[in-house]
Amino acid sequence: MKLAWILWLSQVLPQPAADSLCLSTTVYLEARDQTPRGQQAVAEVALRRLESGLWGDSMCQVVTARKQFAPTIVAPGTRLKNTDAWVEAMNVAFAAERNWSLPADKRQEIVPGASHFAALSIASPSWRNAYQVATIGSHTFYKVQTLRPRAS
């Protein structure tokens, strides 16, 4: 399955299926080689960004915002070929969505307040000196800015 096909499919699927597909794809591309906890932390950052409204009104808009997550950084022809990792990424994404649908005080947060993450072995973002929330596997999670839920 190619990334370009998945992104096309996310445009024709109804909600919430499209957003689940976009989150699953992001977890796969960003963290398929990480522990489930590391994958959950990646999903949490994306969900926190969606809730803020600063990167878009849907998960697909959030994860395809210019140079924010792997779906816009890797080549569209990239193949998602590790079936076991894809199934795990879907399970993590679905569980993260269920957790994030709870009231804020009932959620189990892994990287509280984290708005960004980076694999410092391959990236050196300008915000890498921000407050470090946690390091899980090869990702370091940062609170670069305070994100609040958008006003209703």
> How far is the C-alpha of 81 from the C-alpha of 71, rounded, in Å?
15
- Across the chain, mean pLDDT equals 94
Q: How far apart are CA 23 and CA 71, in angstroms?
A: 10
Q: What is the pLDDT of residue 150?
A: 76
pLDDT of 2 over the 90 cut: yes
* pLDDT tens per residue across span 91-140: 999 999 999 999 999 999 999 999 999 988 888 888 878 999 999 999 99
d(CA 114, CA 135): 11
152 pLDDT above the threshold of 80: no
Closest CA to 26 of 58, 120, 14: 58
Which helix or strand (DSSP H or E) is residue 98 part of? Answer: helix 83-100
Q: For residue 123, what pLDDT is reported? A: 82
This model's pTM is above 0.85: yes
Q: What average pLDDT does the segment 63-72 reach?
A: 94
